[in-house]
A and B are shown apart, each in its own frame.
Chain A
Amino acid sequence: MNFFNTAIDRCALMLAVIIALTLLLGCDSRGSSESDGVAALTTVTVASPQETAIPSATPGGLTSGPLPTATAPIPPPTVPATPTATSSALVLPEPLPGWQWRERDEPFLYAFMLPHSWESVTESSQQFYRSTETTTRIFVEIVPRWRVGEDHWESWLYDNQQQVLLTSDLSRTEIHANAMIAGHPAYLHVDQSPGNYLATIIAPTGGRLLRLRLHNPEQEPEKQIFRTMAETMVLSNGPAETGSLPPDWEINLEFSKWPAPYAYAEGDETELQEIVGQIAVVELAFNGTVEQFTLVDDNGAVYTIIRPPFSVFLGTSTLSPTPLRNDALAEGARVQIVGRPTTTGEIVADYIVPLGDGQLQRALQTYFDLRENAPEPALLTYYVEGEPVDLWLRGTANQLLPYLLDEQGNAIDKELLPGNADEALLAGGVLQNVDPPRIVLSRLYALHGQCRVDEEQVERCQYYQPVLPPVTPTRTITATVQSAVVEMNTIILEQPVEGFVTIALKEGRQLLATDNTPLDLADLAPGTQITATGVMGEAGALLAEFVRVVSAD
């Protein structure tokens, strides 16, 4: 039977459990087979020629070491008494349970620890490390292109930030030693722009540049893993000292607000306007997004509609306005917009709804800076149709208080809001009432660093830290045991789960078999599936209070 060659172009019906046709269509214009996605994505897990992976010691060979804790600022792991003998000149302490040393020689010897379940990958001559669970990547390199002295490295870094730090908006005063790597002063920079999260550590050493990068972590413990890796690095050309990164760096969140290229009109013209009409002409920004469009209402009046600039929080999430796909704003589409006029006559649309496609898709302005513009009941009235809307409010405690309700609908006690009267807070919650505007507070962040405006006029606030909900909520994971290290009260996981690579058992914890009888850690066999409940500890560990066997392998 051979029907495929003749009839495939008549394919009229495609059923897909998960539709993958788009991928096939998307592959048709690739250049060479070398760059073919499938081939390129079939990565080879190998150690580079320069790298030697030094496996963890057997549990019986361990002496003492750090036990993850949940609350205290993370100290560098202590150096255990028994060093690992290697063929190199480096004297390495015993790795943490479930971790292993990776040693490289380019151009001088250095070594760093990573969880054993993270793999080394080489793609297109580029080596990096990644979890087998996510697409998170860690890059470690002595950058061969640059030579830099250790005396004036901050100013050198400022001049070369585009190439080295992959950013261009740092001022000279912002680049200063805020970390230590193996006894060398270093600079940690975190960039949380739209679609990207990149933590970079730069440490000049031996006339070279050591660069560590954490690219787009998907799980919170992966940031802890990066910290531990950086703080335990060992260099052959430096003092035998541990490193340190800024406290609480992992939970700091950057807020960015892009500038508004317009000014609102004053006087009576500032009234909100509702316009329903047909899109006539769409103008795209250089990056393909709909920057503005012309709208013709039912009376033939023509308006130029522009979209407000966006704000970004939490790294890879757009805070506001909520996204609206370009195809909803195609020429000929009928839309309803609500907005205010600018001094030059355009309408800034804080609310856009395509009409007539039977599917409610809305673009909303959900961020309001109470120091500049309070949410207007007249605008929020449009928000209450459809799904509940999350709003973000920024301001001081005194400015925010009138807008915030607890889950019972009561006013928030001022004591709950941290900081002094001038400190900017970010509060998030579901819109509960329109007039006066009220939200049910569910997330609260306090400004921890400074705000500045960069060369592109983007306001960047580094950093906010979460106040609500708690930083370390209780988590429950299901994982497979690779081994148990009784001396360390630690369970090593076969694969990372939600970023966790080990489970550290707290004092007084419960370890139960499937029939709920107590189980000794030593009896936990490799391959056993367990559930564990606890909070995030150090070094990718779940600090567990309760562990139960689900099934034996």
Chain B
Amino acid sequence: MPIDSNATVASMPAMIFLQNQQRDLLITYFSDEKYVYRLMNWATGEKAHVDAYWHMLESYTPPDVSGKVVTVLPQSMIQETNLWATSKAVRIANCCSYYDSGNPFPCCTNQGNCTCWCYYKYGYVPFTGNAETWWGQVPDYPEWNRSTSGPSCLASIACWSGSPGHVAYAAYWSGTGNVGISEMSWCANCGSSRSISPSNPSQGWIFKGSGPCPGGVQV
């Protein structure tokens, strides 16, 4: 669907909009026909941050332009954004520059946490506590299931026992062979990928929902 510009930045047509259901991501696109530029501002609840964003837009001049440039920003968008920025502080959880409002798992001084990462990748998990305990909590939540034979065809989380254990997000699996996982590690890893066998996680795989999956699902 074609998208029309609603602003002008440095004499270039631009598109400004608020994204997400929480409308906490302010994005501006503009293009000089060679490149597309994208400026994004995550809501912090501080109006000064939004003001700085508007100032960046208003003062931006492309490096190869010497003359005066024109920037016109939609007043309705400015008003809506300013209202949103000052009405309520938006919770922002930052882990390794990943912003996830409402994520209850802490990050080790911005150096990673496997539970925080799985919560973020999955969007939400009902589990609390250390990674080693997630497997044992699954029966508490009827919508969640466990498998010891491999990941589900649904989004899955790999679980390892230990103290404090480990969890990782199953990013890719064709249904056979190794599973591509995405993970953070406590205080050591801000996000990495590797390939493991389906039997590698010492506890198994957990996922929300059930359905026809290659290899079946053991609940």
Q: Say yes or no for B16: interface residue by CB 8 A criterion.
A: no
| Distance of B3 from chain A, by nearest CB (Å) | 5
Nearest opposing residue in chain B for A12, CB measure: B35
CB <8 Å contact, B185 and A289: yes
CB <8 Å contact, A198 and B129: yes
Which residues of the other chain, B, contact A17 by a CB distance below 8 angstroms?
A: 39-42, 49, 52-53, 56
> Complex Cα distance A456/B165, Å?
11
CB <8 Å contact, A41 and B102: yes
> Complex Cα distance A30/B44, Å?
25
CB <8 Å contact, A15 and B37: yes
> Complex Cα distance A30/B170, Å?
9
Which residues of the other chain, A, contact B114 by a CB distance below 8 angstroms?
A: 195, 287-288
Nearest opposing residue in chain B for A139, CB measure: B128
B104 contact from A124, A135, A191, A458, Cβ within 8 A: A135
Q: Say yes or no for B168: interface residue by CB 8 A criterion.
A: yes
Which residues of the other chain, B, contact A10 by a CB distance below 8 angstroms?
A: 34-36
| Distance of A1 from chain B, by nearest CB (Å) | 5
CB <8 Å contact, A7 and B31: yes
For the A-B complex with A2-B4, A38-B22, A195-B115 known, give 16 more contacts whose Cβ atoms are closer than 8 Å: A3-B31, A4-B31, A8-B36, A10-B35, A35-B208, A37-B100, A38-B123, A145-B139, A162-B133, A166-B129, A166-B133, A195-B164, A288-B114, A288-B188, A325-B112, A456-B163
What is A's interface to B at a CB cutoff of 8 Å?
1-5, 7-8, 10-23, 26, 29-32, 34-43, 123-126, 130, 133-137, 139, 143, 145, 162-163, 166-169, 191, 193-198, 213, 215-216, 218, 284-290, 310, 316-318, 323-327, 454, 456, 458, 495
A195 contact from B29, B98, B130, Cβ within 8 A: B130
CB <8 Å contact, B189 and A123: no
Q: In the complex, which residues 172-194 of chain B have their Cβ closer than 8 Å to any Cβ of chain A? A: 172, 182-192, 194
A41 with B194, Cβ < 8 A, contacts A168-B132, A194-B164 known: no
Q: Which of B20, B53, B172 has the most CB of A within 10 A?
A: B20
Ranked 7 nearest A-B pairs via Cβ: A31-B155, A37-B123, A40-B124, A287-B166, A40-B123, A166-B129, A323-B187
CB <8 Å contact, A194 and B189: no
> Complex Cα distance A314/B177, Å?
42
A-contact 0/1 string along B183-218, CB 8 Å cutoff: 111111111101000001010000011000000000
A124 contact from B21, B143, B191, B194, Cβ within 8 A: B143
Which residues of the other chain, B, contact A317 by a CB distance below 8 angstroms?
A: 108-109
What is B's interface to A at a CB cutoff of 8 Å?
2-5, 13, 15, 20-22, 25, 29, 31, 33-42, 44, 49, 52-53, 56, 60, 89, 91, 93, 96-109, 111-116, 120-126, 128-130, 132-133, 136-137, 139-143, 154-155, 160, 162-164, 166, 168-169, 171-172, 182-192, 194, 200, 202, 208-209
A196 with B129, Cβ < 8 A, contacts A19-B97, A31-B155 known: yes
CB <8 Å contact, A163 and B108: no
> Complex Cα distance A213/B129, Å?
10
Nearest opposing residue in chain A for B196, CB measure: A286
CB <8 Å contact, B189 and A124: no
A326 with B188, Cβ < 8 A, contacts A19-B40, A191-B130, A458-B163 known: yes
| Distance of A251 from chain B, by nearest CB (Å) | 19
> Complex Cα distance A26/B188, Å?
18
| Distance of B44 from chain A, by nearest CB (Å) | 8
| Distance of B183 from chain A, by nearest CB (Å) | 5
| Distance of B113 from chain A, by nearest CB (Å) | 4
> Complex Cα distance A125/B143, Å?
8
Nearest opposing residue in chain B for A21, CB measure: B40
Nearest opposing residue in chain B for A286, CB measure: B160
Which residues of the other chain, B, contact A213 by a CB distance below 8 angstroms?
A: 128
B128 contact from A12, A37, A134, A137, Cβ within 8 A: A137
> Complex Cα distance A26/B190, Å?
12
Nearest opposing residue in chain A for B96, CB measure: A22
CB <8 Å contact, A41 and B106: no
CB <8 Å contact, A289 and B36: no
> Complex Cα distance A495/B90, Å?
13
B208 contact from A3, A124, A143, Cβ within 8 A: A124
A145 with B172, Cβ < 8 A, contacts A11-B38, A193-B130 known: no
Which residues of the other chain, A, contact B3 by a CB distance below 8 angstroms?
A: 2, 4-5
CB <8 Å contact, A126 and B91: no
Which residues of the other chain, A, contact B98 by a CB distance below 8 angstroms?
A: 22-23, 26
| Distance of A159 from chain B, by nearest CB (Å) | 13
B105 contact from A34, A216, A288, Cβ within 8 A: A216
Which residues of the other chain, B, contact A289 by a CB distance below 8 angstroms?
A: 185-186, 188-189
CB <8 Å contact, B25 and A3: no
**Can you show 21 pairs from A to B with CB atoms below 8 A apart?**
A4-B15, A7-B33, A10-B34, A15-B37, A17-B49, A26-B120, A30-B121, A31-B154, A32-B155, A35-B122, A37-B124, A124-B143, A126-B126, A166-B129, A166-B133, A195-B116, A196-B164, A218-B106, A318-B108, A318-B187, A326-B185
> Complex Cα distance A290/B111, Å?
14
CB <8 Å contact, A2 and B2: yes
| Distance of A505 from chain B, by nearest CB (Å) | 26
CB <8 Å contact, B40 and A326: no
> Complex Cα distance A29/B121, Å?
8
> Complex Cα distance A26/B117, Å?
10
> Complex Cα distance A166/B164, Å?
11
CB <8 Å contact, B35 and A41: no
| Distance of A316 from chain B, by nearest CB (Å) | 4
CB <8 Å contact, B136 and A288: no
CB <8 Å contact, B186 and A194: yes
Which residues of the other chain, B, contact A454 by a CB distance below 8 angstroms?
A: 163
A325 with B190, Cβ < 8 A, contacts A22-B97, A195-B106, A216-B106 known: yes
